[in-house]
Amino acid sequence: MANRPHFKIIRVQGSPIPRSELLEDLRKVAAIANSNKVTQKLYRKHGKFDCRNLSRRFGTWNQALTAARLAISNEIDIPDERLYENLLVLWQHYGRQPRRAELSQPPSKISQGPYRRRFRTWIESLESFATWANSSETLAVDSTVTQSPSSRQSNRSPSLRLRFKVMLRDHFICRHCGSSPAKGHNVELHVDHVLPWSQGGETTLENLQTLCSKCNLGKGSENEIMN
């Protein structure tokens, strides 16, 4: 029994590598790098297969990353709105102007490359974002509401630009308890109506406020008790 032979599968030369094996190797490289982003340069250093093999099997390198549930490391032609939104996420997360190095770590979903291609430098990226954020915004009329003298004049959810203006005005600090992501990264900021939407409050800069998630959820519980 001790000398009993073991069966071993030998892949025929030229036979296709299973997709599951390709994806597993991508995830291993991500684990080695301790990142959810795997560039082709990083994969060539630590991966077992040819990058071209993965690109052919999944259509593109980015589609291979998506199939492996990894973040896209070098997406081309990202719309300005998404670039700005990513900056807002970072600004909100840190409670201050984000630094270029922070693009390479969560919660950022976009690396430095797209900003460099679109705006050339990090400062120019921030300046473009500031120009966009500071530009005037027409009040968005809610098309789902029948127009009448008492009808709503705005949508319930604030736009990305308006959310940023509210938090910037409030210095990225909760107006109820004073907590800020700059003091603790576990603080999550929300933008909420002062006069509730359900009571006729509009989605305007004057009627919006910055609250941390705890205060916002607590405010909702109090309203439920009052009602």
**Considering only CA atoms, which of 82, 43, 45 is closest in space to residue 61?**
43
Which of the four pLDDT bands, split at 50, 70 and 90, describes residue 172?
A: very high
- pLDDT of 143: 40
Summarised one tens digit per residue, pLDDT across range 6-26 is 666 555 566 778 999 999 999
- pLDDT of 195: 95
Which of the four pLDDT bands, split at 50, 70 and 90, describes residue 151?
A: low
d(CA 207, CA 186): 26
- pLDDT of 141: 41
d(CA 62, CA 187): 32
- pLDDT of 92: 87
In the block, tokens 């684990």 appear at: 31
Mean pLDDT over 67-83 rounds to 83
Name the more confident of 183 and 48: 48
- pLDDT of 14: 60
Per-residue pLDDT at 154 exceeds 90: no
| pTM of the predicted structure, to 2 decimals | 0.59
Per the DSSP assignment, residues forming a β-bridge with 210 are 191
Mean pLDDT over 64-71 rounds to 89
Give the angle subtended at the CA of 46 by the CAs of 58 and 26, to the nearest 5°: 30
User: Hey, where are the domains in the chain?
Assistant: 19-67, 80-134, 160-226
Per-residue pLDDT at 179 exceeds 80: yes
Per-residue pLDDT at 136 exceeds 80: no
Which of the four pLDDT bands, split at 50, 70 and 90, describes residue 99?
A: very high
- pLDDT of 153: 75
Summarised one tens digit per residue, pLDDT across range 104-117 is 888 888 888 889 98
- Candidate from 17-21, 47-51, 145-149 with smallest mean pLDDT: 145-149
Can you list the alpha helix ranges (DSSP code H) found in the chain? 19-33, 40-46, 51-58, 61-67, 80-94, 112-119, 122-134, 160-169, 213-226
Per-residue pLDDT at 72 exceeds 80: no
